A and B are shown apart, each in its own frame.
Chain A
């Protein structure tokens, strides 16, 4: 099942399928994505990677992830754009 990361329960894991961010200079130009996608990828959030939701902050706050042995917290808006495959 394919879901945005925000739909995962705490402790649930999935495989990242894609990160969809709007592109700056129209479609087709390579590489020119929003800096945030680069940032996420630099932190290890890349397609094909297993990601676990450790915690999700109350009042629609950020989400804490475990990915590639490290923990990071990202905003819910960004988590919404990360599509993962989960077994349910």
Chain B
């Protein structure tokens, strides 16, 4: 068999473990960049498997394929236009209904796909049992249960992907909407079929009924008559249901997702929810939430600064022990002074200020983020953050900013709109970072400290 190149894309909601799967698949062979002209990260990686060179593309985490955000637009353009050989839809088994809502939209895009039913362990802990064979049958695509952090199912996922690509029949069975809506979709699909758009006609029909501006614009350039027909059909749906057409279609799609979820999952006794629930209730408590938050943040800063102070002293002492050797070589003249006092001492200062403070800060922040506590802080701080024109979520990059402004600015990508992203970035750059804080404290000590 000759070496062939195939492209697999990972798609799914945010926080479903897509990146973990991506890391396991590609290991160190990754390339992180940006989507052309966009502030959205594009992660790509390569692996070799059974004589294939496989390119893996990690698409941004999104909930829908409407064009509410740039991430959604990027994903659907990528899938529809660049046509990857296969899309692996990563699904959070513990929040099946919402994840299937996205799965159904991929199904509508008529892309070859398989489903990675991830976080099976989490689902089990929440008391959700899923019959993945049944899900396979309903969706018409392969479903592989996985637990990404412990690498369960990753090999199977890859093997099944290759198998499906070789067989070439991964196009899933489509879902149908309620009678009145379905009629209109079909009428519109027929009209759109003649336009030869790069997207599946049925999907375009659904999107145009939902009022997708981007697609409407495209169609207007070719045949504006179709748009007026679409508008008429949408208004008919609106008059029957009494809601916006996009609302009707969204709820019907959600109903379908809910039906599938109820059919394949069985709710049993959760393994150990009370502790997690209690912790959640405590950390977002009306009264106790704030002192807990203050205590956590203060103890983190206290811990970091006392640890940093101690290790910074150690490293400093160690590095300064080279001073006599150094001055022996270069002498105590102007050359020695310049090299030691100018270059080496500057380097030492950099190392002793940045390293001992930054490293533990990031470790702590990683722990906070991973445990989900940062989102609780965002929840508590939302109102206050709104007072300075920011979303509660901006608290997370702001915390990061206390470590270093550069990753904090990068972290602002979690904000959803361009406007919020920019605002957060501006504010973040005003936060004194760890190194700045040390200097500030030093200067304060030097100028206003007691003798």
On chain A, the residues within 8 Å of B231 by CB distance are 30
* CB-based contact A70/B95 at 8 Å: yes
A58: interface (CB < 8 Å): yes
Instruction: Tell me the count of chain A residues lying within 8 A, CB to CB, of chain B.
Output: 31
* CB-based contact A61/B96 at 8 Å: no
On chain A, the residues within 8 Å of B213 by CB distance are 32
- Per-position binary interface string of chain A over residues 18-56, scored 1 when its CB falls under 8 Å from any chain B CB and 0 otherwise: 110000000000111101011101111011110000010
Across the interface, name the chain B residue whose C-beta is closest to A67. Answer: B98
CA distance A38 to B246 in the complex (A): 8
A62: interface (CB < 8 Å): yes
* CB-based contact B383/A49 at 8 Å: no
Of residues 215 through 261 on chain B, the ones whose CB sits less than 8 Å from some CB of chain A are 231, 234-235, 238, 243-247, 250-251, 254, 258, 261
Most A CB contacts (10 A, CB to CB) among B64, B95, B244 go to: B244
Across the interface, name the chain A residue whose C-beta is closest to B246. Answer: A31
Q: Which of B64, B95, B235, B386 contacts A42 (CB 8 A)?
A: B64
On chain B, the residues within 8 Å of A70 by CB distance are 95, 97-98
CA distance A30 to B334 in the complex (A): 78
On chain B, the residues within 8 Å of A43 by CB distance are 63, 98
B101: interface (CB < 8 Å): yes
On chain A, the residues within 8 Å of B308 by CB distance are none
B211: interface (CB < 8 Å): yes
On chain A, the residues within 8 Å of B251 by CB distance are 41, 46-49
B66: interface (CB < 8 Å): yes
On chain B, the residues within 8 Å of A46 by CB distance are 247, 250-251, 254
* With contact pairs A44-B98, A44-B254, A70-B97 given, residues A57 and B383 touching in the complex (Cβ less than 8 Å): yes
On chain A, the residues within 8 Å of B96 by CB distance are 69
B380: interface (CB < 8 Å): yes
On chain A, the residues within 8 Å of B258 by CB distance are 68
* Min C-beta distance of A9 to chain B, whole Å: 13
* CB-based contact A75/B382 at 8 Å: yes
B167: interface (CB < 8 Å): no
On chain B, the residues within 8 Å of A75 by CB distance are 382, 386
* CB-based contact B211/A42 at 8 Å: no
On chain B, the residues within 8 Å of A69 by CB distance are 95-98, 261
On chain B, the residues within 8 Å of A47 by CB distance are 243, 247, 251
CA distance A79 to B289 in the complex (A): 22
* CB-based contact B101/A44 at 8 Å: yes
On chain A, the residues within 8 Å of B98 by CB distance are 43-44, 68-70
Most B CB contacts (10 A, CB to CB) among A31, A32, A39, A68 go to: A31
* CB-based contact A41/B250 at 8 Å: yes
* CB-based contact A55/B284 at 8 Å: yes
* CB-based contact A31/B97 at 8 Å: no
* CB-based contact A42/B246 at 8 Å: no
* With contact pairs A30-B234, A38-B246, A68-B98 given, residues A61 and B261 touching in the complex (Cβ less than 8 Å): no
* CB-based contact A57/B382 at 8 Å: yes
Q: Which of A32, A39, A55, A59 contacts B211 (CB 8 A)?
A: A32
On chain A, the residues within 8 Å of B97 by CB distance are 44, 68-70
* Min C-beta distance of A64 to chain B, whole Å: 7
* CB-based contact B383/A59 at 8 Å: yes
On chain B, the residues within 8 Å of A86 by CB distance are none
A73: interface (CB < 8 Å): yes
A88: interface (CB < 8 Å): no
* With contact pairs A69-B97, A70-B95 given, residues A61 and B382 touching in the complex (Cβ less than 8 Å): yes
- Per-position binary interface string of chain B over residues 284-300, scored 1 when its CB falls under 8 Å from any chain A CB and 0 otherwise: 10110110000000000
- Per-position binary interface string of chain B over residues 72-87, scored 1 when its CB falls under 8 Å from any chain A CB and 0 otherwise: 0000000000000000
CA distance A43 to B102 in the complex (A): 10
B55: interface (CB < 8 Å): no
* CB-based contact A31/B244 at 8 Å: yes
* CB-based contact B246/A33 at 8 Å: yes
* Min C-beta distance of B205 to chain A, whole Å: 14
On chain A, the residues within 8 Å of B287 by CB distance are 58
Binding site for B on A (CB under 8 A): 18-19, 30-33, 35, 37-39, 41-44, 46-49, 55, 57-62, 64, 68-70, 73, 75
* Contacts A/B (CB < 8 Å), 17 sampled: A19-B247, A31-B245, A33-B246, A38-B68, A41-B246, A42-B63, A42-B250, A46-B250, A46-B251, A47-B247, A57-B382, A57-B383, A59-B383, A59-B384, A68-B258, A69-B261, A70-B95
* Beyond known contacts A30-B245, A44-B98, A57-B379: 14 more, CB 8 A cutoff: A19-B247, A30-B231, A30-B244, A38-B66, A38-B68, A41-B250, A47-B247, A47-B251, A57-B284, A58-B289, A58-B380, A60-B383, A62-B392, A69-B97
Binding site for A on B (CB under 8 A): 63-64, 66, 68, 95-98, 101, 209-213, 231, 234-235, 238, 243-247, 250-251, 254, 258, 261, 281, 284, 286-287, 289-290, 379-380, 382-384, 386, 392
6 closest Cβ pairs, A-B complex? A31-B211, A42-B64, A46-B251, A61-B383, A30-B234, A41-B250
